[in-house]
Chains A and B, each alone.
Chain A
Amino acid sequence: MSDKSETIERLSVFKTYKLYVGGKFPRSESGRVYEVTDSKGKWLANAPLSSRKDARDAVVAARKAFGGWSGATAYNRGQILYRIAEVLQGRRDQFVREVAEAEGLSKAKAAAQVDAAIDRWVWYAGWTDKIAQVVGGGNPVAGPFFNLSSPEPTGVVTVLAPQESSFLGLVSVIAPVIATGNTAIVIASEKSPLPALSLGEVLATSDLPGGVVNVLSGRTAEIAAPLAAHQDVNAIDLAGADEALAKELEIAAADNLKRVLRPQAVDNWSAAPGTERMTAFLETKTVWHPTGSLGASGSSY
């Protein structure tokens, strides 16, 4: 017998991609999946086809996580975001492969996208404890008061991830939402959801509390409609919606006065992002704090 005939061909191990909701990896409640192909139409894997009940469960998880995440110190949030970058770095090769397959890029170009995405986490990790100085501050007022404005997270934010940029675009819309203390429900790119579903695995192992980011895959329009109308969602980022869908969702979102970030054409997701995506989901709280003497005792602050 030759050596060759003794080599048994290894059975291939396919990965079951699953949703990431509330820190767990459930299948879709509906039991449905859909076929995901690469840019040339070759089958890659089956991804869960989420239903509106998955969306509802994600809102419950995000709402539950909001108190803890928004209450964590900005410094701690920064540490966790940086930790995500660290863990991503360790799984860089996997993401390069997934991005290359999803977007039909060369390995070098895909690597550049993944590196930019990792750097993006680091960029937003630095912003968590600095955004308050930039958009908040002390206001001079004509009276014996300290008047302070500080940015507060809006709450539960639904994010429609960009359809084309399956990873860098995805990170560029998630990170600014959670950096400031919001919790997010992310609808992955409909055509190429695999990098987003794999990102869930990274988030689950990066000290990010369960429920802060919830990743759903499936038909964007089907999942987004109940989320836009959901009374317990506070804001929606329409980055991944086309014009007709964006209009429809904005009308539904008006019902409980959600903050809406309209889709803007982005040619190059690797350009410096600025603070705009963070401030879109912040609310300004202003407090008036009395100074000077208070009553007969003459005490003052």
Chain B
Amino acid sequence: MSARGLYSRYARRYGGVVTMPTSAPALADVTASDSTLRRFLHGLPGVDAVGLEARAASLGTRSIKTTAKAYAIDLAISMVDLTTLEGADTPGKVRALGAKAAHPDPTDRTTPTTAAVCVYPDMVAVAKEAVAGSGVKVASVATAFPAGRAALDVKLADVHDAVAAGADEIDMVIDRGAFLAGKYLKVYDEIVAVKEACGASARLKVIFETGELSTYDNIRRASWLGMLAGADFIKTSTGKVAVNATPANTLLMLEAVRDFRAQTGVQVGVKPAGGIRTSKDAIKFLVLVNETAGEDWLDNHWFRFGASSLLNDLLMQRQKLATGRYSGPDYVTVD
């Protein structure tokens, strides 16, 4: 192979912005039928898995200290979707979570509030009351979360319930079975239907459950599929499977939202969820956001962390920066 050929292959793999094979007007046609959609999604450039993981790992080595760290911690706290999604959730637990979202550190009122609390649909009313007046939003998972194995009208009823109860955001799961079987239009139609059910009041987050999609190529396809269908946010996972948010799959989704905005002018948010437990991890994700999607996404309107135990670690780190001594789990709430 000539040197020139080598170079162009290198450029194709590692080039900053992956050029998509379509132009903006063509995007309108890709959802016309199952076959056009399939052709578009399979026409997306393949993901260089080794390169992706290496880039995610290298961006994770940045050292963020002192004032930058303080800024990153406050930003991360403001991006947390404080989540409780257990069968054992009680109204009392949801109220406690709401109080924590509104005042994450009662000993330090300068702590920002979290972005939202995330609960099951039947707890939305309780959560709404608990965070009233604090500016914290209420997100609700819906569409037969976490498996998504139910008929469309059942899923839509789930969404209507949550929206009627006052949810500001809906976290839906895609039908992974249909996606993996290649029925992309079915997945697309479902997202469109749920988006419609959300109405104008609720933002829609679409969960791909990246741990079940097997390949990076599938994650890229799912990201584009979700964005084409009108998702306001694309979200990695439910937190209920073995592999949840990783730096690599989040990086891939950040590239997708960046490219999508470059082509359509529409900005879409990203939410990694599950498995992010330490401040260090959270800051690594913020570096990914800044370096990939850019500063426009460094805001809780466009980037969120789906997490529960992460908040305590962020608060302990915040206390450390404020007092100069290491804090411990005795000084944050148990939840």
Contacts and interface: CB of A to CB of B under 8 A. Distances in A.
A232 B325 contact: no
B328 interface: yes
Interface string B298-327: 000000000000000000000000001111
Contacts of A59: 326, 328
How many chain A residues sit at the interface, stated as a range, is 10 to 19
A56 interface: yes
How many chain B residues sit at the interface, stated as a range, is under 10
Contacts of B331: 231
Interface string A219-231: 0000000100111
B15 interface: no
Interface string A238-273: 000000000000001001100000000000000000
Contact of B328 (A226, A231, A252): A231
A203 to B, nearest CB: 24
A229 B325 CA distance: 6
Contacts of A229: 324-326
A226 B323 CA distance: 12
Kindly name the residue among A56, A230, A252 whose own CB sees the greatest number of chain B CB atoms within 10 A: A230
B330 A230 contact: no
Contacts of B325: 226, 229-231, 252, 255
Contacts of A252: 325
Interface string A28-71: 00000000000000000000000000001001000100000000
A232 B326 CA distance: 8
A231 B326 CA distance: 6
A230 B330 CA distance: 11
B329 interface: yes
Contacts of A63: 328-329
A231 B322 CA distance: 14
A56 B326 CA distance: 8
A233 B327 CA distance: 9
Nearest to B327: A231
A67 to B, nearest CB: 12
A152 to B, nearest CB: 16
A56 B331 CA distance: 16
A255 B330 CA distance: 13
Kindly name the residue among B324, B325, B326, B327 whose own CB sees the greatest number of chain A CB atoms within 10 A: B326
Contacts of A56: 326
Contacts of B324: 229
Interface string B280-298: 0000000000000000000
A233 B330 CA distance: 10
Contacts of A230: 325-326, 328
B73 to A, nearest CB: 16
13 contacts: A59-B328, A63-B328, A226-B325, A226-B326, A229-B324, A229-B325, A231-B326, A231-B327, A232-B326, A232-B329, A232-B330, A233-B328, A255-B325
Given A63-B329, A232-B326, A232-B327, 11 more contacts: A56-B326, A226-B325, A229-B326, A231-B326, A231-B327, A231-B328, A231-B330, A231-B331, A232-B329, A232-B330, A256-B330
6 shortest A-B CB distances, which residue pairs?
A: A232-B328, A229-B325, A231-B328, A230-B326, A231-B327, A56-B326
